[in-house]
Amino acid sequence: MNIAILSRNAKLYSTRRLIEAAEERGHTVKVIDALRCYMNITANNPKVHYKGEVLDGFDAIIPRIGASITFYGTAVLRQFEMMGVYPLNESVAISRSRDKLRSLQLLSRRGVGLPVTGFAHSPDDVNDLLQSVGGAPVVIKLLEGTQGKGVVLAETHSAAESVIEAFQGLKANILVQEFIQEAKGADLRCFVIGGKVVASMKRQAKEGEFRSNLHQGGSATLTRITPEERATAVRAAKIMGLNVCGVDLLRSNHGPVVMEVNSSPGIEGIETATNKDIAGQIIAFIEKNARPHNTRTKGKG
Ligand code: ADP
């Protein structure tokens, strides 16, 4: 097969591993920087241009679109979908998952366990907002944050008020969430491929920190998850419409709760923690499913 990887940097671990795994299995791979693609939108003949050439002949495309280029990256991916190229994850599903609020709304509608969550932009009654999620301690999140940045634990009511007011001053959208203290600074990353959890790891925050992100000094270890956790991760992936994703769960005393579904999950952490060939499994999934125009949305919406 001819496989394209939409990635800004061929040297990143995840991109490198996908190239390696695809080539090992006899495929041809080309890494394409989405920001350098330009397109011409004419009736019935979608094309993508790149460095003076027309990109053609791909059977499948693996989107690795960074959060900061979601808008343009998904537009480029959609163009490939319109050309009939099989996307590992569809553009619509990626856009959906990048909007934290929309994701939580979709998951809650289907009854998936979530931390009690409120969202706000300019609440006139901060007390009422805090009460609606059960009061302090709460976790307050900037909707646009990634890698644990913009996630604050407010242990008291007055700290929560101050943080919310500060964020309000920035005119930002915020989430206010019940603090899952019993998770003890740990979360679970479940790596889902084609409706199955193929690997999972536990990430533990460093001493004195509640955020378990590896970027915040957290450490990852192999872990066994319960059938309920497994089922929750699989359902979340299905509701989001993602073939490949990382579902982050917290162990709460009301069962597993989904914190986030990541449509471009990193491969390094999970391969290192589990010693599994995740990149190879992704390529195997593509081999099984890639057919022209095999998308649910046909590049729409
Ligand atoms: P980001 O998307 O920036 O990584 P997250 O929402 O995943 O932000 O939060 C970062 C980390 O903070 C999580 O990995 C988790 O360890 C911790 N955390 C987030 N929300 C909660 C919560 N409601 N209760 C307890 N810990 C949380």
Tens of pLDDT, residues 271-285: 999 999 999 999 999
CA geometry: angle 27, 28, 33, nearest 5 deg: 130
Alpha helices in 4-99 (DSSP H): 13-24, 70-82, 91-98
In whole angstroms, give the CA distance from residue 184 to residue 209.
10
Residues with CB under 6 A from ligand 1: 115, 139, 141, 145-148, 151, 177-180, 183, 187, 205, 210-213, 248, 250, 259-260
Task: Please give the pLDDT value at position 300.
Answer: 53
167 CB burial (10 A radius; 0-12, 13-18, 19+): buried
**Is 271 found in the same domain as 221?**
yes
| CATH code, domain with 130 | 3.30.1490.20
**Is 281 found in the same domain as 200?**
yes
Strand order, beta sheet including 151-154: 117-120, 174-178, 138-142, 151-154
| CATH code, domain with 56 | 3.40.50.20
Q: Tell me, yes or no, whether 102 lies in a domain.
A: no
Q: Tell me, yes or no, whether 111 lies in a domain.
A: no
Task: Please give the pLDDT value at position 171.
Answer: 86
**Is 209 found in the same domain as 229?**
yes
Total domain count, the chain: 3
**Is 205 found in the same domain as 279?**
yes
**Is 157 found in the same domain as 66?**
no
In whole angstroms, give the CA distance from residue 210 to residue 183.
9
- Omega of the bond leading into 137 within 30 degrees of 0 (cis): yes
Determine contact, residues 144/123, Cβ cutoff 8 Å: no
**Is 193 found in the same domain as 138?**
no
Task: Please give the pLDDT value at position 299.
Answer: 53
Mutate which of 151, 188, 209, 261 to test ligand 1's pocket (most atoms within 8 Å of Cβ)?
Answer: 151
**Is 273 found in the same domain as 255?**
yes
Low-confidence ranges of the chain (pLDDT < 50): none
Ligand 1, atom 23: nearest CA belongs to which residue? 179
**Is 128 found in the same domain as 169?**
yes
CA of 183 to the centre of ligand 1 (A): 11
Q: Tell me, yes or no, whether 78 lies in a domain.
A: yes
Task: Please give the pLDDT value at position 292.
Answer: 85
**Is 153 found in the same domain as 207?**
no
Mutate which of 184, 203, 211 to test ligand 1's pocket (most atoms within 8 Å of Cβ)?
Answer: 211
Ligand 1, atom 10: nearest CA belongs to which residue? 148
Q: Tell me, yes or no, whether 53 lies in a domain.
A: yes
In whole angstroms, give the CA distance from residue 276 to residue 278.
6
Kindly report, residue by residue over 4-63, the tens digit of the pLDDT: 999 999 999 999 999 999 999 999 999 999 999 999 877 788 899 999 999 999 999 999
**Is 137 found in the same domain as 82?**
no
In whole angstroms, give the CA distance from residue 55 to residue 53.
6
Identify the residue whose tokens are 């919406």: 301
In whole angstroms, give the CA distance from residue 148 to residue 180.
15
Strand order, beta sheet including 47-50: 37-40, 47-50, 53-55
Task: Please give the pLDDT value at position 146.
Answer: 67
Q: Tell me, yes or no, whether 23 lies in a domain.
A: yes
Task: Please give the pLDDT value at position 217.
Answer: 86
Q: Which of 96, 126, 151 is the last residue of a domain?
A: 96
Ligand 1, atom 17: nearest CA belongs to which residue? 211
| CATH code, domain with 228 | 3.30.470.20
How many other CB atoms are there within 10 angstroms of residue 2's CB atom?
16
How many other CB atoms are there within 10 angstroms of residue 118's CB atom?
19
Q: Tell me, yes or no, whether 6 lies in a domain.
A: yes
In whole angstroms, give the CA distance from residue 45 to residue 85.
13
**Is 262 found in the same domain as 193?**
yes
Paired tokens of 56: 């053609």
Ligand 1, atom 26: nearest CA belongs to which residue? 180
Q: Tell me, yes or no, whether 219 lies in a domain.
A: yes
Domain range for 51:
2-96
User: DSSP character for 99?
Assistant: -
Mutate which of 213, 247, 249, 261 to test ligand 1's pocket (most atoms within 8 Å of Cβ)?
Answer: 213
pTM of the model: 0.94
**Is 250 found in the same domain as 173?**
no
Task: Please give the pLDDT value at position 116.
Answer: 95
- Quick one: which H or E segment has residue 107? helix 100-109
Task: Please give the pLDDT value at position 298.
Answer: 55
Q: Tell me, yes or no, whether 299 lies in a domain.
A: no
In whole angstroms, give the CA distance from residue 214 to residue 192.
19
